[in-house]
Amino acid sequence: MVKKFLNKNSDYFYFAFRVIVGLVFILHGWMKVSAIMGGKIELMSLMGLAAVIETVGGVFIVIGLLVQWVALIAAIEMIVAYFMSHASQAWSPLVNKGEPAVLFFAAFLVLAAFGARKWACDKR
């Protein structure tokens, strides 16, 4: 019974997953955009690039545009962020505060593999 319900509604669940991941990624990037506007981060820096990838990429994921490519780029950004900012402090994401990077990386691998699916701008 549960399996039937889950299979019947899988498109809705995946859509919610895509939109939630995209919206949280936008918020993640918007913090950096705010820092750029406040003069704390330069646009032409790694953090500036991260702000653009996260904000614009999040919008693309939410609307379902070029999701596989954007998710691949975002996954690469998250693994680089983990090793540049977190792994040097400790290996465990629970200790080095790298859980968001690891979870985003996993979510982007799923999005890269499955694409936007239903309710997307680039629906084929």
Residue 100 lies in a domain: yes
Residue 124 lies in a domain: no
Q: Tell me phi and psi for residue 65, to 5 degrees.
A: -115, 120
Q: Quick one: which of 14, 68, 31, 51 has its CA closest to 60?
A: 68
Range of the domain at 32: 14-114
Confirm whether pTM is higher than 0.75.
yes
pLDDT in tens, 48-86: 999 999 999 999 999 999 999 999 999 999 999 999 999
Residue 99 lies in a domain: yes
Q: Quick one: which of 26, 71, 85, 73 has its CA closest to 51?
A: 26
Q: Residue 123 has what pLDDT? A: 72
Residue 4 lies in a domain: no
Instruction: Give the count of domains, the chain.
Output: 1
Residue 75 CA to residue 98 CA, distance in Å, equals: 14
Q: Residue 13 has what pLDDT? A: 97
